[in-house]
Amino acid sequence: MRLTSAITSSAIGAAAALAGCAPPKPVPVELAEAQCVQQVLSGNTGNSSVTFGVGTGYGGWGWDGGPGYGGWGGTGVAVSTTVPVASRVNPAQQYNDCVIRRSGQPPVTPFAKRPELKG
């Protein structure tokens, strides 16, 4: 009886873990269009990132770092950023790609016809 319970618990835990890895559910195309036009107009294409790292380690040429063997020990901190660069992809293509990625469908309203662009 306990073995069955343990297997069931493991199966439920594995299913829950895999559910967290599932791709996001598509949103309605109209919602995707509204989100994507704002993303393109704000210039936030999702290509920026910030990475932080902290580590300790031992390296160098020596085997054990003893006298006469070289080597060094130490700690370090690193920060890396990627800043969006002016994209060569035109805004309409970014909009189309974004809508398809979010909704799974092509846009109904072309980028040039969006009311947000009318000034």
Residue 74 lies in a domain: yes
How confident is the model over 22-38, as a mean pLDDT? 88
Residue 65 lies in a domain: yes
Residue 104 CB-half CA count within 13 A: 6
Residue 13 lies in a domain: no
pLDDT 10s digits, 55-71: 665 555 555 555 555 55
How confident is the model over 83-100, as a mean pLDDT? 80
Residue 93 CB-half CA count within 13 A: 4
Give the number of domains in the chain: 1
The secondary structure of residue 83, as a DSSP letter, is: -
Domain residues for the domain of 78 are 52-82
What is the CA 19 to chain-centroid distance, rounded? 17
pLDDT 10s digits, 70-88: 555 566 666 666 555 555 6
Residue 77 lies in a domain: yes
